[in-house]
Structure 1
Amino acid sequence: MVKGDRQRGFSLLELLVALFVVVLVTSLVTLNIGSGDRDILLQAAVEGLADSANYALDEAQFTGVNYALAVSMEDDQGQWRFHFDWYEESPTGWQPPTGSKEVFAPTVLPPGVVVQLELDGVAEDEEALVANPAIPQPQLVFYASGETAPGAMTIRETKTDELLWRLEWDLLGNFQALRRGQSADEEDL
């Protein structure tokens, strides 16, 4: 063999390093895509709750019937999942709404988040949120007079306690969904 005639190509070590890099990049992309799904589902759920709450207050004033939102949590294979169910007041107690079923559809948050509910400046006890489907206990009532108890709901990442969303409302039921606790204007700064 002449000194200038070397074989061209990649060594086994170079191929293994290249393969390792490809696998590493692929797994990182897959992890990021999976976490993005939860963020999108959570955003849709929170914004949907705010929209439904605003509608419930308008509907209560229009029809003269009180509406309510029950926040509950259920154990789903070792993880707590938070549920939001709508009710309307009837002579026999709280019943599922008879109209606007698509607006008042139950909402379930994706796993991995924890909800803290605060009404009139007082945090609701988490144990009180454990679901009892036989006796609905709505925490938030939308009165036909156009009022509701002012409050807030924070949604945090279970593992890191990072604030993901904050839903705030006043006595007149002006609901705002705040990503990371900030309005869209504050996020842009």
Structure 2
Amino acid sequence: MTCCPRQRGFTLIEIMIVVLIVGLSAGIATLAFAPDDTSRLEEAADKFMLQAEFVAEQTALTGEVIGLFIRPTSSREGTQWCYQWRRFRNSAWQPVSDFLPDQCFATDMEIEMIVEGEAYEYDERETTPQPVLIFYPSGESTRLELALFARFDSEEVQRIEVDMMGDIRWLNREQELADREAEL
């Protein structure tokens, strides 16, 4: 008398181990062959863009006015440009939240800005600094053109533009897309 034939197959643990090994192999291969053509300027511009888009959405959701303040600060490595997002509440500019802490560009990065059609120059004597960019709950904003470049190598420039309708555009990315489409 023979009992049930022994079933052959894989256990769940064996399948999970194989999936893990395949996943790790694919991840390593992707990292090994991925082009690292994003520069530090692109990373800084990308971070700024993400925050600006987040702030623009927050103004519409919360009904608050949020402004961008930019100022140079001195450190051991030199001067660096720092920016912070503030909301206008109780007749004063206050921090937005812990999710948007103050940020600084690297010390070897420089910025140039045009605010509402006028070249921006920081005035350290100003007792009540004004925001260089303001997002309103209606979706509108002040106009800002921001150019980010390396202090010692100004060949690469990352350009960001915010128009009065609150549209945020990374001009370099748009140009890259247009160039790719033209190649096809």
Interval of TM-score (by shorter of Structure 1 and Structure 2): 0.5 to 0.7
The 3-state SS of whatever aligns with 2:137 is: coil
Q: 1:154 aligns with which of 147, 150, 157?
A: 147
Q: CA deviation at 1:54?
A: 1.7
Instruction: List gaps (5 residues or longer) in structure 2.
Output: 1-35
Q: Which residue of 1 aligns with 2:71?
A: 72
| TM-score relative to the length of structure 1 | 0.66
Name the structure 2 match of 1:174.
Answer: 167
Q: What SS is found at the alignment partner of 2:131? A: coil
Structure 1 residues 69 and 131: alpha-carbon distance in aligned structure 2, compared to 1, 3 A threshold: farther
Deviation at 1:136, TM superposition (A): 5.2
What amino acid sits opposite 1:140 in the alignment? L
8 Å Cα contact 2:77/2:107 also seen in 1: no
Query: What does 1:90-105 correspond to in 2, within 5 Å?
Result: 90-98=89-97, 101-102=98-99, 104-105=100-101
Contact 1:68–1:141 under 8 Å retained in 2: yes
Answer whether contact 1:115 1:155 (CA < 8 A) is retained: yes
Q: Which amino acid in 1 is paired with 2:44?
A: A
Number of aligned positions between the proteins? 146
1:187, CA displacement in angstroms? Answer: 4.8
Using the aligned pairs only, state the percent identity.
19
Distance 1:47 1:88 in 2: 22
Structure 2 counterpart of 1:183? 175
Counterpart-to-counterpart distance in 1, 2:103 and 2:119: 21
Q: CA deviation at 1:166?
A: 0.6
Partner of 1:142: 135
One-letter identity of the residue aligned with 1:45: A
Shift of 1:121: 1.6
Secondary structure in 1 matching 2:170 = strand
Note the residue ranges of structure 1 that are not aligned, 5 or more in a row. 1-35
Alpha-carbon distance, 1:168 to partner? 1.0
The Cα of 1:75 is off from its aligned counterpart by 1.6
TM-score normalised over the length of structure 2: 0.68
1:123 match? 119
Decide whether the 8 Å contact of 1:152 with 1:167 is kept in 2.
Answer: yes
3-state SS of the aligned residue for 2:51?
Answer: helix
Distance 1:48 1:131, change over 3 A: farther
Amino acid at match of 2:115: L
Query: Residue 104 of structure 2 aligns with which residue?
Result: 108
Q: Indicate the SS of the match to 1:53.
A: helix
Structure 2 counterpart SS, 1:138: coil
What is the root-mean-square deviation of aligned Cα atoms in Å? 2.8
2:159 is aligned with what amino acid? R
AA aligned to 1:95 is Q
User: What SS is found at the alignment partner of 1:183?
Assistant: helix
